[in-house]
Amino acid sequence: MQGIKKTVGLCMVALFISAPAIGAEQPKYVFYMIGDGLGASQRQFSEFFVREKEQDNSKELLMNTFEVAGLNSTYAADTLITDSAAAGTALASGVKTNKGVIGKDAKGNDVKTLVEAAELEGMATGIITTTRLTHATPAAFAAHNISRNNENEIAEDYLKSGVDFLAGGGIRHFIPKSMKIENGDAIGKTIKSKRKDEKNLVAAFHQSGYSTFIGMEGAKAFGATDFTKEEKVVALFTYTHMPYEIERINTYSAVPSLAEMTQAGIEVLQKDNDGFFMMVEGGRIDHAAHANDPTGVIYDTIAFDEAIKVAYDFYQQHPKETLIVVVGDHETGGMGLGMDSKGYKLDMSQLLATRISVEDTLAYGKGQYKGDKAAYLAFLKNEFGLDNLNESEAARLERAMTDADAGQTSGYYKVNPAALTAAHILSERANINWTTTIHTATMIPMSATGVEAQRFAGFKDNTEIADTMADLLNFTL
């Protein structure tokens, strides 16, 4: 009899622990902020840079001040090092899936996303990113496809999704194959299609009642629009990804920032009496880390934090109704803060003069090395802040340029070796080290504030973030 009582008691304790807290509040407004590739090093490094730039050691990134914190594991169903498709699906649906899979489980079955569940509850929804809208993380919240590479199909899923506010890059997957507009996107690139058919999804969105903001003209109109008067929005500003923040600031200031897109999304979605669910991705943090680009990481992390600030300002106006959860999907680059060669110090001042990105400019853009060594070194000095080369640095760049002349490449994604070498030299001057040009399996920091934020604290798998959010919102995934 005593054994039975003990068993019943243990069952009651388990039930109490697993059940939602009595009287727990349910948020009306949810901001799910995802920094792609945003590990602990990226967060801390960017904060150190802000302190150096502003000469104020008290400065902090807002995301690093939230009262609730935790760590998340990120592995996929078929690999310990995940990609953004599997990680995005875990964060969106609470399901482990295979690398490269969007919105499906490891057996290929569609899984419900938090955005879809929010729509079923009558909430307004938004998806915002600095990547192509059809890229893995945003796609995982609204699409279902066996391969993240099927971006034309993912674009069609967006049309069917019913998401009220969509903003990012990737015009090329939404327009018919015959369409081409010279110098038409928001950074002056030609708009052309990646589709194999004549489907015009932008026109279809417009016919479905969406206001559309496309390319350069769309960027200009976006900045002049009163979004409190808009009901549904699709904004696609660039042919592919949106520019890195360091180049948006210095060259493409007409392109809306992630913070500005977030503010517009709030103005559209907050009119819904049932509240809203918004996913905001700082997507190019990951791309910068793939290129081992320290300043690219920093500026896009700061831009992400500024978008969090927009959400936080809204939270302060609605403190009893708002939840903000900040996560990463995985770490990229194996970023280490410190190297033997420089001892116990970091030198953020080495990064202050940089004005360009490694990937978009040095690897593939106007700053790409193409055989003129003197011109390349001058460009690095003037735009990348890499001057006064010592003998070792000069020799490394010389070898890298010679390798490029011979057609060799560097890193997993086979980039121009001159660009990657320049990135490594600049990183080393700040005493930063990179172990890889791809993702790692390291745990990811989480921070949160607002209604029931404490439920996200502690060590959790990435699937538990989605499951906790669904439980809190009374969603069924």
Tens of pLDDT along 113-163?
999 999 999 999 999 999 999 999 999 999 999 999 999 999 999 999 999
Single-letter code of the amino acid located at 274: D
According to DSSP, residue 323 is labeled E
The pLDDT tens digits of the residues spanning 333-390 come to 999 999 988 899 999 999 999 999 999 999 999 999 999 999 999 999 999 999 999 9
3-class DSSP state of 206: helix
* Residue 20: pLDDT band with limits 50, 70, 90: very low
Q: Are 31 and 311 in contact (CB under 8 A)?
A: yes
Spatial CB neighbours of 228, under 8 Å, sequence gap ≥ 6: 267, 268, 271
Instruction: For residue 421, count CB atoms less than 10 angstroms from its CB and return exposed for 0-12, middle for 13-18, buried for 19 or more.
Output: buried
Please, which residues have CB within 8 angstroms of residue 264's CB and are 6 or more apart in sequence? 165, 167, 222, 225, 227, 233, 235, 256
Instruction: State the pLDDT at residue 23.
Output: 53
pLDDT for 330 beyond 80: yes
Report helix angle 294-317 to 417-429, nearest 10: 70
Q: What is the C-alpha to C-alpha distance for residues 116 and 91, in angstroms, rounded to an integer? A: 13
Instruction: Give residues with Cβ within 8 angstroms of 369, minimum separation 6.
Output: 362, 376, 401, 404, 416, 418, 419
Instruction: Give domain limits for the chain.
Output: 29-335+438-472, 348-429
Fold that domain 29-335+438-472 belongs to in CATH:
Alkaline Phosphatase, subunit A (3.40.720)
What is the SS3 assignment for 144?
coil
Q: 115 with 265: CB under 8 angstroms? A: no
> 191 with 180: CB under 8 angstroms?
yes
Name which of 325, 250, 261, 290 is nearest 412 in CA terms: 290
Number of other residues whose CB lies within 10 A of the CB of residue 162:
13
Residues 254 and 216 sit within 8 Å (Cβ to Cβ): yes
How confident is the model over 40-62, as pLDDT tens digits?
999 999 999 999 999 999 999 99
φ, ψ of residue 213 in degrees (nearest 5): -125, 105
Average pLDDT over residues 439-466: 98
DSSP state letter for 295: H
Residue listed under structure tokens 């509040």: 25
Strand-pairing partners, residue 281, are 34, 129
Are the beta carbons of 141 and 118 closer than 8 angstroms? Answer: no
Cα separation, 248 vs 256, in Å, equals 9
Longest dimension (CA), the chain: 88
The total of other beta-carbon atoms located within 10 Å of residue 157's CB is: 17
Amino acid at 422: A
Compute the distance between CA of residue 366 and CA of residue 121 in angstroms, rounded to an integer.
48
Q: What is the pLDDT of residue 342?
A: 84
* Ordered DSSP codes for 50-112: HHHHHT-TT---GGGT-SEEEEEE---SS-SS--HHHHHHHHHHS----TT-BSB-TTS-B--
Which residues are paired to 432 by β-bridges? 337
Alpha-carbon span 214 to 135, nearest angstrom: 18
Radius of gyration of the chain (CA): 23
List the single range of 1-10, 82-91, 94-103, 282-291 with lowest mean pLDDT.
1-10
C-alpha 242, offset from chain centre? 11
360 DSSP 8-state letter: I
Could you give phi then psi for residue 130, rounded to 5 degrees?
-100, 0
Tell whether the model's pLDDT for residue 9 goes beyond 50.
no
C-alpha 259/C-alpha 163 separation (Å) is 19
The pLDDT value recorded for residue 89 is 98
* pLDDT value at residue 6: 38
Beta-carbon contacts of 226 under 8 Å, excluding residues fewer than 6 positions away, are: 267
What mean pLDDT value characterizes the chain? 95
